[in-house]
């Protein structure tokens, strides 16, 4: 008689056959909601939902499916969320990992991480085979450490073999653990126990690894050890070589610092007449790039001797002598200098110097040159029309002249720039993907900042401006006592309000012959006169916006004029002005789209 687990797996296989590519974990969770006719009722439910159901890669294992979901979550959906938090959330669900983790992280955001948008191989989820092989291999590598301690180190490093091996190596082959274990081995264990321990250790050396990822990591570890040993051998060879040069008195003098070095420690100019040590060349390039800046963008670096040599420092020699970061900084400066001389629009990553030439649209200056003749002809035609109609119909000529005056006050260049930016965004998109493997960041093409998760252009600048203007608008309708700083707002009635300290009493109580006339006995506020609040609020908002942009010129540059910030309700005149502006931009956009 088949067990309940076998019956459940049979039903899951039937559902997978009915819905190819479906997630078995999703089907298992659906089976728990029904008591009879499981397959039929689940199939009807899926068809009622339009035939939509979670799908998985059929050639992936469960661990591979979870690692794929973790990669999508960590690099695309939540590139600024800590990977450990995403991995913890991922392990809580049996199916639909991306959807369920997304809902959980949106509801409760996780901690941020420093390495934005990147995921390392050590961050992925490991299967049980890898964990067992990693523990067995570390037991062979560090036999003096207890297995429970090895298991704790592995758990601390997400069961990654390379990171765990490096951590144990930094501890000094066991360190304190080694001393304690040797103490007990010497004083407590008998010879028989030691023999059995050594025999078990030797028998464990026959353990065969079956996980391909762990085998590859062990190969990487051996390559690292070989490279480290090669570096030590090279260092020893240089020391022996320098000693032989010194004994034979064959050391060569550097023409910059006048120190004595071996031939391998020197670099020569392209003419081969002047020798310089590697330290002098590094200091010279560092000063030229980050000090005075004379070498920034220099495609040819001349010989640094004082004899007027016409040679140069060959790029191949510089690449061999300079450290990797210094050589990359020099290449970046040359690339940026050549980029400035490239005609056309350039799209650059906000995180590095990676750039691409934008061939989707012509440059704005070139497009403006095409539009200028048409605008000049239009202005002359309007002037001619005004002169002609002035002889026949004077009122109509006055209307045309007024229209020409309005057009002369029109900032056409700003609107053309706005329209050009819209066309560029339609053709090029709103984001730029960096193809530099070391960067691989996403740049917003509107504010030229790195996109991290849910992005909003000029968010900080607009928030500061918005809060300042909103505070000014609120203060415009509030009254504050100068003594106790109590703020209040009148809803109806007269202006007389008594605060808790009874100091807010600056209203005029004198009798007036003409109601509404100013008082001739004092300059206090009117008791019953009320200024329109809407007008006061709008004036306060305009004044606050002007003050904020004046005190923060960087914000005025970063927040474009085309970004309309709406604070408070729009009046009918503002709505009409907004409609007029959008209509003009719409006409210009469809007219200029053919020219760029």
pLDDT at 366: 66
Alpha-carbon gap, residue 143 to 174, rounded angstroms: 9
Same domain, 503 and 471: yes
Residue 28 in contact with residue 94, Cβ under 8 Å?
A: yes
Alpha-carbon gap, residue 376 to 358, rounded angstroms: 29
Residue 351 maps to a domain: no
Name the 3-class secondary structure at 261: strand
Residue 449: Cβ-neighbour burial (10 angstroms; 0-12, 13-18, 19+): middle
Same domain, 143 and 97: no
Task: Give the CATH number for residue 304.
Answer: 3.30.40.10
Residue 493 in contact with residue 507, Cβ under 8 Å?
A: no
Domain C-terminal end among 77, 108, 123: 123
Residue 9: Cβ-neighbour burial (10 angstroms; 0-12, 13-18, 19+): middle
Alpha-carbon gap, residue 399 to 471, rounded angstroms: 44
Q: How many residues does the chain have?
A: 596
Same domain, 209 and 284: no
pLDDT at 204: 41
Helices 364-390, 412-428: inter-axial angle, 10-degree rounding: 140
pLDDT at 278: 93
Digits of tens for pLDDT over the chain (596 positions)? 456 778 877 888 888 888 887 878 788 888 888 888 888 888 888 888 787 777 777 777 888 888 989 998 988 888 888 999 999 999 988 888 888 899 999 888 888 887 777 888 889 999 899 999 999 999 988 888 888 889 999 999 999 999 999 888 887 654 444 545 544 544 444 344 444 334 334 334 446 777 888 889 899 999 988 998 998 998 999 899 989 999 998 899 999 999 999 998 999 998 888 999 999 999 999 999 988 778 888 889 999 888 888 899 999 999 999 999 999 999 988 988 888 777 767 888 888 888 888 777 766 666 666 667 766 776 666 666 666 656 566 566 566 665 565 555 566 667 777 777 777 777 777 888 888 888 888 888 877 788 876 677 766 666 777 778 888 887 777 767 666 666 666 666 666 666 666 666 667 777 777 766 778 788 777 766 655 666 777 788 888 888 877 777 666 555 555 455 555 566 777 776 677 677 767 767 666 666 66
Domain C-terminal end among 167, 189, 220: 220
Residue 454 in contact with residue 461, Cβ under 8 Å?
A: no
pLDDT at 199: 37
Same domain, 306 and 281: yes
pLDDT at 405: 58
Same domain, 119 and 137: no
Residue 478 maps to a domain: yes
Same domain, 291 and 336: yes
Tokens of 329: 């900084």
Same domain, 66 and 38: no
Alpha-carbon gap, residue 67 to 78, rounded angstroms: 15
Domain C-terminal end among 74, 91, 123: 123
pLDDT at 336: 84
In the 3-class helix/strand/coil scheme, how is 121-178 assigned residue by residue? HHHCCCCHHHHHHHHHHHHHHCCCCCHHHHHHHHHHCCCCHHHHHHHHHHCCCCCHHH
Alpha-carbon gap, residue 468 to 380, rounded angstroms: 46
pLDDT at 503: 62
Centre a 10 Å sphere on the Cβ of residue 65 and count the other Cβ atoms it contains.
17
Q: How many domains does the chain have?
A: 5
Helices 128-141, 161-170: inter-axial angle, 10-degree rounding: 30
Residue 538 maps to a domain: yes
Centre a 10 Å sphere on the Cβ of residue 119 and count the other Cβ atoms it contains.
18
Residue 334 maps to a domain: yes
Which phi and psi (to 5°) does residue 165 adopt?
-65, -40
Q: In terms of Cα–Cα distance, which of 591, 566, 560 is closest to 578?
A: 566
Bridge-based pairing state of the strands 355-358 and 345-348: antiparallel
Name the 3-class secondary structure at 180: helix
Same domain, 272 and 211: no
Q: In terms of Cα–Cα distance, which of 49, 43, 110 is closest to 79?
A: 110
User: What b/e readout covers 208-231, taking b as 16+ CB neighbours within 10 angstroms?
Assistant: eeebebbeebbeebeeeeeeeeee
Residue 366 maps to a domain: no
Residue 488 in contact with residue 478, Cβ under 8 Å?
A: yes
Residue 227 maps to a domain: no
Task: Tell me which DSSP letter residue 264 carries.
Answer: G
Range of the domain at 9: 4-48
Q: In terms of Cα–Cα distance, which of 303, 318, 315, 298 is closest to 269?
A: 303
Does this model's pTM top 0.75?
A: no
Residue 317 in contact with residue 327, Cβ under 8 Å?
A: no
Q: In terms of Cα–Cα distance, which of 68, 118, 73 is closest to 441?
A: 118
pLDDT at 388: 63
pLDDT at 411: 61
Same domain, 274 and 298: yes
Same domain, 115 and 146: no
Same domain, 110 and 134: no
Q: Give 444's strand partners.
A: 431
Residue 79 maps to a domain: yes
Same domain, 466 and 549: yes
Write the CA distances from 46 to 41, 43, 97, integer angstroms.
9, 5, 19
Residue 521 maps to a domain: yes
């Amino acid at each position: 008689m088949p067990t309940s687990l076998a019956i459940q797996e049979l039903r899951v296989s039937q559902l997978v056959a009915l819905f190819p590519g479906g997630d078995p974990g999703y089907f298992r969770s659906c089976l728990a909601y029904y008591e009879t006719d499981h397959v039929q009722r689940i199939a009807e439910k899926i068809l009622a939902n339009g035939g939509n159901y979670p799908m998985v890669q059929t050639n992936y294992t469960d661990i591979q499916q979870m690692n794929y979901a973790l990669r999508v979550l960590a690099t695309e959906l939540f590139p600024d969320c800590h990977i450990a938090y995403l991995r913890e959330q991922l392990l809580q669900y049996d199916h639909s990992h991306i959807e369920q983790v997304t809902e959980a992280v949106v509801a409760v955001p996780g901690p941020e991480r420093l390495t934005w948008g990147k995921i390392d191989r050590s961050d992925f989820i490991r299967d049980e085979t890898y964990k067992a092989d990693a523990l067995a291999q570390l037991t062979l590598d560090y036999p003096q450490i207890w297995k429970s301690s090895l298991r704790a180190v592995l758990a601390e490093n997400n069961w990654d073999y390379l990171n765990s091996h490096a951590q144990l190596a930094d501890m000094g082959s066991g360190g304190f653990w080694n001393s304690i274990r040797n103490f007990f081995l010497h004083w407590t264990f008998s010879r028989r126990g030691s023999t059995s321990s050594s025999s078990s250790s030797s028998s464990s050396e026959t353990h065969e690894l079956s996980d391909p990822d762990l085998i590859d990591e062990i190969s990487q570890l051996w390559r690292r050890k070989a490279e480290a040993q090669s570096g030590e051998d090279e260092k020893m060879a240089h020391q022996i070589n320098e000693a032989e040069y010194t004994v034979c008195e064959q050391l060569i003098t550097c023409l910059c610092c006048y120190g004595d070095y071996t031939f391998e420690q020197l670099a020569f100019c392209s003419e081969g007449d002047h020798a310089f040590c590697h330290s002098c060349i590094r200091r010279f390039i560092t000063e030229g790039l980050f000090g005075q800046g004379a070498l920034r963008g220099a495609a040819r670096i001349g010989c640094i001797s004082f004899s007027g040599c016409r040679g140069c420092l060959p790029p191949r020699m510089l690449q061999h002598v300079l450290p990797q970061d210094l050589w990359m900084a020099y290449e970046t400066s040359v690339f940026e200098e050549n980029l400035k001389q490239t005609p056309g629009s350039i799209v650059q990553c906000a995180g590095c110097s990676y750039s691409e030439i934008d061939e989707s649209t012509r440059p704005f200056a070139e497009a403006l040159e095409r539009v200028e003749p048409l605008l000049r002809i239009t202005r002359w035609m309007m002037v001619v029309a005004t002169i002609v109609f002035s002889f026949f119909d004077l009122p109509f000529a006055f209307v045309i002249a007024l229209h020409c005056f309005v057009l002369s006050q029109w900032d056409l260049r700003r609107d053309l720039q706005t329209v050009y930016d819209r066309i560029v965004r339609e053709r090029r998109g709103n984001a730029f993907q960096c193809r530099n493997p070391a960067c691989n960041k996403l740049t917003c093409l509107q504010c030229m900042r790195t996109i991290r998760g849910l992005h909003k252009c000029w968010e900080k600048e607009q928030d500061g401006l918005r809060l300042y203007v909103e505070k000014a608008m609120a203060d415009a309708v509030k009254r504050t006592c100068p003594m106790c700083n109590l703020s209040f707002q009148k809803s109806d009635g007269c202006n007389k309000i008594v605060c808790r300290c009874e100091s807010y009493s600056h209203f005029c109580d004198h009798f007036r012959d003409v109601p509404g006339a100013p008082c001739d006995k004092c300059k206090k506020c009117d008791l019953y006169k009320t200024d329109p609040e809407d007008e006061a609020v709008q004036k306060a908002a305009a004044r606050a916006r002007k003050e904020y942009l004046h005190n923060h010129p960087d914000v005025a540059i970063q927040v474009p004029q085309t970004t309309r910030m709406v604070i408070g309700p729009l009046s009918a005149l503002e709505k009409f002005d907004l409609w007029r502006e959008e209509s003009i931009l719409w006409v210009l956009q469809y007219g200029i789209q053919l020219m760029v």
